[in-house]
Amino acid sequence: MSTARSRGPVYVAGHRGLVGSALVRRLEGSGVEPVVRTRTELDLTDPIAVDAFFAEERPARVYLAAAKVGGIQANDEYPGDFIRENLAIQLHVLDAARRHGVEKLLFLGSSCIYPKHAAQPMAEDALLTGPLEPTNQAYAVAKIAGVEMCRAYWRQYGCRFISAMPTNLYGPGDNFDLETSHVLPALLRKFHEAKVHGHREVVLWGTGTPRREFLHVDDLADACVFLMDRWDRPDIVNVGVGEDIAIRELAELIREVVDVDVSITLDREKPDGTPRKLLDTTRLQELGWTPSIDLRDGIERTYAWFRTHVDDARSHA
Ligand code: GFB
């Protein structure tokens, strides 16, 4: 697989996050040293700072992986923060990229942009065909605005801004805070703590019946580099593994990986969210890309990472 060779610097926005850090690993692995800035060095919600950065660095290619993200509870509790921060980051980065002549940009969306009851697996043309899942509607609307801005800029200004829609992600560098994380890191932490502290049970939120598809972030990063090289159309592209799993089964798999003898109970006061979220990845497969990390292997690797970073992993639990 070739690497995103460009006529100037490659900028990864959000390089400290789950996706951005995987992109940096992937690019560095093939000899590309991307330009990065921490949040303190560059506040992407500040249009003047963003403009000055683009004027100075003149990136040729941009991976827009900076976003405010979180699990079902964080989305439900802080919808105002999710919509404001994401809209601001997207608006400023996409517009600076247009004004400073960025050659190509990849925007990261999310599978939650599709309607709550979209036919499964969800193809790209399901976008904007029905009501969204209420727990993450604010975040989804921000991401839909980002997708639409890329398409509108392509149509009006000829900007080559493409969009990838990843399914639920996991991997090293994830957020392990039990209040704000996604399900997979939350369950790794819960089973790990049950093992360490000798607890008898682990509590799952909701009914355990919703189904989700999980993609290792290193696979996503590889797909993003692939799309940057090979995809030259304004149409969005789903990135997933093509298989989903019930949350209850995921918990059983994580219990096996952590190797702990505890029972699993349900907290039905917590929301289930969307009943099922499985992407149709035909478009990406036809281009010749498939994921390479299977779920058990990916969970084992993530658990190994968590154990060595347990003290400094993002968590306040
Ligand atoms: O990963 P998650 O927080 O987000 O939850 P979504 C997935 C499912 O796992 C839900 C259940 O049905 C949760 O109720 N679950 C069970 C748990 N136990 C836990 C737990 O301990 N922690 C968490 N977090 N969940 C998010 C969206 O939706 O997906 C975002 O809110 C984004 O906007 C992201 O799109 C990919 O898959 O439901």
Task: Summarize pLDDT for 14-64 with one digit per residue, the tens.
Answer: 999 999 999 999 999 999 999 999 999 999 999 999 999 999 999 999 999
Q: Is the pLDDT of residue 81 over 80?
A: yes
Residue of minimum CA distance from atom 23 in ligand 1: 183
Higher per-residue pLDDT: 25 or 5: 25
Which candidate in 11, 63, 114, 139 is catalytic? Answer: 139
Q: Is the pLDDT of residue 173 over 70?
A: yes
Which token pair is 248?
């209850």
139 among known catalytic residues: yes
> Rounded distance, CA 122 to CA 166, Å?
12
Among protein residues, the one whose CA lies closest to atom 14 of ligand 1? 272
- Whether the predicted pLDDT of 317 surpasses 80: no
The pLDDT of residue 311: 73
Residues 97 and 161: beta-carbon distance below 8 Å: yes
The rounded percent of the chain whose pLDDT value lies above 90 is 95
**Of all protein residues, whose CA lies closest to atom 20 belonging to ligand 1?**
183
74 CA distance to ligand 1 middle (Å): 9
Distance 136 CA to ligand 1 centre (A): 10
113 Cβ closer than 6 Å to some ligand 1 atom: no
- Average pLDDT taken over every residue of the chain: 96
Q: Looking at residues 182-189, what average pLDDT do you find?
A: 98
pLDDT cut 70: percent of the chain above it: 96
Angstrom CA distances, 286 to 130, 289, 290, stand at 27, 7, 9
Distance 214 CA to ligand 1 centre (A): 11
Q: Cβ distance 187 to 251 under 8 Å?
A: yes
- Long-range residue pairs from 146-154, CB within 8 A, at least 24 positions apart, any chain: 146/64, 146/86, 146/90, 146/94, 146/107, 146/109, 147/107, 147/109, 147/113, 147/236, 149/90, 149/91, 149/94, 150/94, 150/105, 150/107, 150/234, 151/234, 153/94, 153/98, 154/234
Is the minimum distance from the CB of 168 to ligand 1 under 6 angstroms?
Answer: yes
Split at pLDDT 50, 70, 90, the class of 5 is: low
Give the per-residue pLDDT at 313.
Answer: 64
State pLDDT tens for residues 274-316: 999 999 999 999 999 999 999 999 999 999 999 999 876 665 4
Amino acid residing at 182 = H
Q: pLDDT value at position 308? A: 94
Residue 199, C-beta contacts closer than 8 angstroms, at least 6 positions apart:
193, 262
| Residue nearest atom 25 in ligand 1 by C-alpha distance | 183
Q: Which of 83, 201, 205 to mutate to test the pocket of ligand 1 (most atoms within 8 A of CB)?
A: 205
Q: Decide: 71 in ligand 1 pocket, CB within 6 A.
A: yes
At 95-129, the pLDDT tens digits run 999 999 999 999 999 999 999 999 999 999 999 99
- Residue range 202-229: average pLDDT? 98
Helix residue spans in the chain (DSSP H): 18-29, 47-57, 72-77, 79-99, 137-157, 183-197, 217-230, 247-258, 282-287, 295-309
The whole-number pLDDT of residue 7 equals 77
